Amino acid sequence: MFEKLKNYAARQLELDPSEITPDSTFESLGIDSLDVVEMIMDLESELGVELDMEDQKITTFQELADFIESKLN
């Protein structure tokens, strides 16, 4: 899932994939909350799963990948 997120961010947000690591925070890469919401909405559509982030404190790509994987299982 991390690789999927990394590729998405690189493509959609025009980031250098080599800069995106599992521990990269959204903030450190200049990704704002609106970008995160858009990414979540796209992933929900693509994966066919609802990702309710309301009570989640997710700040890194790996945390997001782990959260998504937990919803898929």
User: What residues act catalytically?
Assistant: 32
Query: Which amino acid, one-letter code, is at 51?
Result: L
CB distance 62 to 22 below 8 Å: yes
In 3D, which of 57, 50, 54 has the Cα closest to residue 68?
50
The Cα–Cα gap between 51 and 17 comes to 24
